[in-house]
Structures are given as structure tokens and as C-alpha cells.
């Protein structure tokens, strides 16, 4: 038989705490580097496979489907359609937040609303909790709000959020 | 979809074991793995020396704070001095553990396999949520400080928006599963709650509220699989594994429509083809779809072809998925009611179907006679789908 402990019983036991001191230096690779540099210029780049026609955003140097190299760089618009949006009242450690953070997925243009797979981006959406809750923001057309050029670093954070237009 | 599978042996499940699912177990991961494994051997009537190969399932190492969980758990799982392998496909791991056990036997490599899945979610501080940050893309996603619930809230809202589904219709899953869990002696969160309770609970990431989500749990599960000739020697009531399926979809979840779980459809089609099932909604008698969130059960019932797209909530309301309905769904109480020690929760679903088909599910036993059952799990960034179909 197993033995569940109550919260208060935990304090009666010796607890060993351990904080991993793990730090990483990631590589962005060929495709993502170009993508990040594009963001610095206020552009969203994708990679196109001319065999199946798929446009990868974020870009990839190979096509998943055809298993061959993708062929060319394409620029997609910094505009798209909100596929979904949510309002988070908890932080990444599950601490309670006063003001919700609003994020979602944007299907970038050009693309078609019948596409199952499309050029897409996960980011913040500048809208109200009310519009998330009543779902009116879903399906709306949005455009990237870029940071001032001199503040951009070649990061996903170069876009502040997507705003309804 | 073309699937090239060549089978050598027919495979049966002949024993299963579970621990209680609870938050903050005093016992170590190895100790609870041992408890589930020992129970499964006892039910099968086998000793460890009879076991040829061991399969271990565990989701991210980081939860119990022990790296290389396969090696770590091999002691409690009976794997010492035996061929041991560990499978890991996030939340889909539990059913994958059963599938990996199955292919060890189906291929003719081993005659008797012990498959064990374990997870302790509660050691991580201050909350396992913080650990989930490391499954996001380090460059494109992590800078936004996501927690795991974000991604499911996004999927849930997309599902609701696409088909016009209301929160109160989804909340019925939580009500049903927690009610079913009252019949399950292993369950952590059996309760009689109402739709109102779900809608009034703490908003975590709208549209996900506290009672839409399964709890943090610790637990272990195990099964014994055997080839047909061996199984006949040990039991008069073997439960046959008739079809299995598993698939990964792309990890670029922001670049594909979240309204439909394509990864589960592919896995289900593979399993149905193997089991010779042509009309799943007529042929599946009882189902345990993966339900770490309430909407997820509906999402998965649709991908399993047990409801048309967007119509699972309607069938749920009509009682089709109740314990006395046409297709009882999560009669165990699912993850929402039993608890969610990730890999163990998936294998618990397989164990539940096995007991249903054996007729030993006790108070959980569904009302109608059952011959074909299905368990399913899903994991990673809405990517991995695993399905197993069993018959008695
Ligand atoms: Zn291609």
C-alpha cells in the first residue's frame, strides 16, 4: 500500500531542496537565424518547398513531407488571422497574476482558411480579456506591432504583439 | 494511410496492477513501480524469473527530479539482468508502454513481458508547471514565458470556436469522469460535482479553469503480456491485443489547425485496420480516451471516429458516453477523476479496459456486455498519439 502525505505532514519531514543550475547557449541554425535576422528588419521570412508548395514559418531547410531540401526564401505578411487566443491568470511557475497575459496563434497571410497546415506564429495578442472571453477576437485580422527598429535584437520579442486591424 | 506491419504472434494481457493515485506519496518511484509490477505478476500467476523482457514507461524525467528514469526504475520494475527498454513520448507514454510490450511479444522476441509505467509529479517545487517550461522551443517560444496550460487553453478555445461549443457542454466531461471515479478504489479525485462548480472554479488560463484539469498525482501501473500459447497456459480469460497504432504529427503546433487531433486519427486508423474494425462507433463497446483536460476527451472521441467532428459534446449530453450509455467513455474516471501521474495514467487506461473486458472491473464495470475496448493517450506538444484495441 502507498502512503499519501498531507501538506502539513510535509513540514514534519526533512526536505532536500535542489535547484538545478543549468544554463544553455542554444544555436538557432541556418533557417531560424535568417528568420530572427528578418524580425530585426521587420520582416517575416519563410521557406518554401517547390515540390509540395508548403511554406514553412518558422522556416526549415528541409521539407518534412517530401524529405528533400526546401527551395527558396519567401516573405509572408506581418498580418494574419487569429486562430485562437487565451488569457493567462497564472505565471509559468503557477503564481497568480493580477492582469492576464493574452497570447494566441496567428495564421499568417497569404494562406487559406481551409488549410490544415499553414505559416503560423505563436505570440502575444494585444486585446482585452473581454474579447478573449466572448471569443470575438478569434477570426479577426491582426498585424504585428513591431518594437522601434533600434530596440530590435533579432528575437521573437522584436514583435511586441499582434493587434486587431 | 499505408501501414506495413508483419505480425508473428498473437498477444494477450494476462495480468495488471495499479497503485493508488495520490498527491505526494511517501514511497519512492522505484517502490511504487515495484508495487504495481508485483500486483501485475500476482494477477498473471507469474514470478519475475518467468519474465523475458521488461518495458518501462516514464514521461519527462524532470518531474520526479531523477534523470535517466529507465535505468533508475529498472530495479523496481524487475528489469535487472534482463533486456529492458524505456519508451517516452510525453503524455502518450503510458499507452506506448503497452504497445512496446506488445511488439516485443508480437515479433516473437519475448514470450512474457512486464510493462511498467511510473510518474511522481509532486516532488517538483513550487509546482510541476515550472518544469513544463522546458518542453517549449527555446528560441521561438520560451521568451514569452509560457506555462503548459497555455497550449491546451489555446487548443480548447480553437475547438470551441470552430464548432461553436460552449464551456458548460465541455464541463460535463469533468462532471461525468469525477462521478465515475467514485467507483474506482484507486482514484484520487472522485466527486459529485456540477457544471456550475466547474464554471465557478479558479480561472487558470481562460478558457481553462481549475476543475477542467486533472490533478497533480503520483502513481504507477503495470501489465503482463504473453504470447497466445503461453497465455492459454496461465488463464482461461486472456484479453487479446488486437490492434495498436502510434503516430507523431509535426511539432509546429502554431502551424496546424488545433480544432482536430489529427495525430490521434492516424494512430486510430492504424489500430482499427489491424483489428479489422470498419465502423468504430458500432464496434467499440467501451473506451478510455485520454482526458488530462475535459475538452480533450471530446477532442479525442472525435479523432477516434467515435463521434463526427464537433459532435462529441452533443452525444455526451445525450448520455452516449455515460457508464450505462452506448459507448461508455472513461468508466474508470479517467485522469480527471483518477489522477494524472503522466505515464502511469496512460497505462491505467489500458489496465481499465483490460479489467472491463475480463469482467473484473467491480463497481467500475459498465452495464452492457463488452467485447471490444479501446485505450488512447496523447502527448508532447499536441503531437504524439497512441491507441490500443483489445478484445476478450
Ligand atoms: Zn515538400
Determine contact: B3 vs chain A, CB below 8 A: no
Weakest mean pLDDT among A50-54, A100-104, A112-116, B112-116: A112-116
Determine contact: B1 vs chain A, CB below 8 A: no
The answer to whether residues A103 and A88 touch, using CB atoms and an 8 Å cutoff, is yes
Cβ burial, residue B273 (10 Å; 0-12/13-18/19+): middle
Instruction: State how far residue A34 is from chain B, nearest Cα, in angstroms.
Output: 13
Instruction: State how far residue A72 is from chain B, nearest Cα, in angstroms.
Output: 19
Determine contact: B185 vs chain A, CB below 8 A: no
pLDDT at A23: 84
Span B235-242, mean pLDDT?
Answer: 95
Contact A87 B262 (CB under 8 A): no
pLDDT of residue B7 exceeding 90, the answer is no
Task: Enumerate the residues of chain B whose CB falls inside 8 A of the CB of residue A7.
Answer: 24
pLDDT of residue A124 exceeding 90, the answer is yes
Q: How far is the CA of B319 from the centre of ligand 1 (A)?
A: 44
pLDDT at A139: 97
Weakest mean pLDDT among A12-16, A80-84, B153-157, B171-175: A12-16
The rounded mean pLDDT for chain B is 94
pLDDT in tens, B376-390: 999 887 889 999 999
pLDDT in tens, B315-357: 999 999 999 999 999 999 999 999 999 999 999 999 999 999 9
pLDDT of residue A20 exceeding 80, the answer is no
Task: Enumerate the residues of chain B whose CB falls inside 8 A of the CB of residue A87.
Answer: 203, 205-206
Percent of chain B with pLDDT over 90: 86
pLDDT of residue A56 exceeding 60, the answer is yes
pLDDT at B67: 85
pLDDT at B3: 56
Closest residue in chain B to residue A104, using alpha carbons only: B154
pLDDT of residue B2 exceeding 60, the answer is no
Contact A84 B161 (CB under 8 A): yes
pLDDT in tens, B24-40: 899 999 999 999 999 99
pLDDT at B1: 46
Test mutation, A1, A2, A56, A113, chain B, max B CBs within 10 A? A2
pLDDT of residue A14 exceeding 50, the answer is yes
Weakest mean pLDDT among A2-11, B183-192, B261-270, B371-380: A2-11
Cα B61 vs. chain centroid, distance in angstroms?
Answer: 18
Instruction: State how far residue B20 is from chain A, nearest Cα, in angstroms.
Output: 7
Among B192, B199, B183, residue whose Cα is nearest residue B294: B199
Higher per-residue pLDDT: B245 or B9: B245
Q: How far is the CA of B382 from the centre of ligand 1 (A)?
A: 22
Contact A92 B258 (CB under 8 A): no
pLDDT of residue B270 exceeding 90, the answer is yes
Determine contact: B250 vs chain A, CB below 8 A: yes
The answer to whether residues B361 and B340 touch, using CB atoms and an 8 Å cutoff, is no
pLDDT at B337: 97
Q: How far is the CA of B41 from the centre of ligand 1 (A)?
A: 49
Sorting pLDDT into bands at 50, 70 and 90, what band is A88? very high
Tally of CA atoms within 13 A in the half-sphere of B88 that contains its CB: 13
Among B148, B164, B122, B147, residue whose Cα is nearest residue B28: B122
Instruction: State how far residue A143 is from chain B, nearest Cα, in angstroms.
Output: 16
Sorting pLDDT into bands at 50, 70 and 90, what band is B4? low
Task: Enumerate the residues of chain A whose CB falls inside 8 A of the CB of residue B253.
Answer: 105, 122
Instruction: State how far residue A35 is from chain B, nearest Cα, in angstroms.
Output: 10
Task: Enumerate the residues of chain B whose CB falls inside 8 A of the CB of residue A52.
Answer: none
Span B136-141, mean pLDDT?
Answer: 91
Sorting pLDDT into bands at 50, 70 and 90, what band is B101? very high
Chain A and chain B share a number of CB contacts under 8 A equal to 156
Task: Enumerate the residues of chain B whose CB falls inside 8 A of the CB of residue A2.
Answer: 19-20, 22, 25-27, 32, 35, 218-219
Closest residue in chain A to residue B205, using alpha carbons only: A88
Instruction: State how far residue A120 is from chain B, nearest Cα, in angstroms.
Output: 4
Span A7-22, mean pLDDT?
Answer: 80
pLDDT of residue B61 exceeding 90, the answer is no
pLDDT at A13: 78
Amino acid at each position: 500500500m502507498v502512503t499519501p502525505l498531507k501538506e502539513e505532514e510535509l513540514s514534519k519531514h526533512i526536505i532536500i531542496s535542489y535547484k538545478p543550475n543549468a544554463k544553455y547557449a542554444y544555436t538557432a541554425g541556418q533557417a531560424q537565424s535568417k528568420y530572427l535576422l528578418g524580425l530585426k528588419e521587420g520582416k517575416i521570412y519563410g521557406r518554401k518547398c517547390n515540390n509540395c508548395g508548403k511554406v514553412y514559418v518558422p522556416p526549415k531547410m528541409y521539407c518534412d513531407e517530401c524529405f528533400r531540401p526546401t527551395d527558396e526564401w519567401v516573405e509572408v505578411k506581418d498580418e494574419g488571422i487569429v486562430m485562437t487566443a487565451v488569457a493567462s491568470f497564472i505565471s509559468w511557475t503557477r503564481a497568480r497574476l493580477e492582469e492576464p497575459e493574452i497570447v494566441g496563434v496567428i495564421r499568417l497571410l497569404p494562406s487559406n482558411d481551409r488549410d490544415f497546415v499553414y505559416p503560423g506564429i505563436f505570440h502575444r495578442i494585444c486585446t482585452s480579456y473581454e474579447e478573449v472571453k466572448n471569443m470575438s477576437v478569434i477570426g479577426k485580422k491582426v498585424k504585428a506591432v513591431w518594437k522601434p527598429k533600434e530596440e530590435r535584437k533579432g528575437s521573437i520579442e522584436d514583435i511586441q504583439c499582434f493587434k486587431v486591424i | 494511410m499505408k501501414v506495413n506491419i508483419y505480425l508473428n504472434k498473437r498477444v494477450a494481457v494476462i495480468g495488471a496492477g495499479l497503485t493508488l493515485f495520490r498527491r505526494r506519496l511517501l514511497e519512492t518511484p522505484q517502490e511504487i513501480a515495484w508495487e504495481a509490477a508485483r500486483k501485475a505478476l500476482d494477477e498473471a500467476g507469474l514470478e519475475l524469473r518467468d519474465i523475458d523482457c521488461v518495458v518501462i514507461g516514464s514521461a519527462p524525467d524532470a518531474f520526479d527530479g531523477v534523470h535517466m528514469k529507465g535505468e533508475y526504475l529498472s530495479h523496481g520494475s524487475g528489469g535487472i539482468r534482463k533486456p529492458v527498454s524505456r519508451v517516452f513520448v510525453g503524455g502518450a507514454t503510458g499507452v506506448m508502454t503497452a504497445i512496446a510490450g506488445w511488439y516485443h511479444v508480437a515479433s516473437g522476441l519475448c514470450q512474457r513481458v512486464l510493462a511498467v509505467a511510473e510518474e511522481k509529479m509532486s516532488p517538483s517545487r513550487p509546482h510541476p508547471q515550472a518544469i513544463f517550461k522546458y518542453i517549449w522551443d527555446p528560441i521561438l517560444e520560451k521568451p514569452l514565458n509560457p506555462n503548459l496550460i497555455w497550449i491546451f487553453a489555446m487548443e480548447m478555445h480553437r475547438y470551441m470556436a470552430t464548432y461553436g461549443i460552449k464551456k458548460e457542454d465541455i464541463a460535463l466531461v469533468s462532471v461525468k469522469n469525477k462521478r465515475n471515479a467514485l467507483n474506482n478504489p484507486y482514484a484520487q479525485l472522485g466527486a459529485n460535482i456540477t457544471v456550475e462548480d466547474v464554471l465557478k472554479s479558479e480561472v487558470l488560463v481562460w478558457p481553462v479553469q481549475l476543475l477542467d484539469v486533472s490533478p497533480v498525482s503520483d502513481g504507477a501501473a503495470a501489465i503482463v503480456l504473453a504470447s497466445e500459447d503461453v497465455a492459454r497456459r496461465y488463464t482461461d480469460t486472456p484479453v487479446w491485443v488486437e490492434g495498436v497504432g502510434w503516430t507523431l504529427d509535426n511539432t509546429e503546433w502554431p502551424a496546424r489547425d488545433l480544432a482536430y487531433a489529427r495525430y490521434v486519427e492516424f494512430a486510430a486508423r492504424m489500430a482499427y485496420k489491424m483489428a479489422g474494425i470498419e465502423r468504430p462507433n458500432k464496434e467499440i463497446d467501451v473506451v478510455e480516451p485520454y482526458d488530462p483536460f475535459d475538452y480533450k476527451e471530446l477532442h479525442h472521441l472525435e479523432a477516434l471516429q467515435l463521434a463526427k467532428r464537433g459532435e462529441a459534446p452533443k452525444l455526451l449530453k445525450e448520455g452516449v458516453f455515460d457508464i450505462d450509455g452506448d459507448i461508455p467513455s472513461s468508466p474508470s474516471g479517467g485522469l480527471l477523476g483518477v489522477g494524472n501521474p503522466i505515464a502511469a495514467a496512460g497505462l491505467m487506461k489500458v489496465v481499465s479496459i483490460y479489467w472491463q473486458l475480463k469482467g473484473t472491473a467491480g463497481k467500475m464495470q459498465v452495464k452492457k456486455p463488452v467485447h471490444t475496448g479501446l485505450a488512447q493517450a496523447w502527448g508532447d506538444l499536441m503531437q504524439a498519439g497512441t491507441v490500443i484495441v483489445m478484445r476478450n
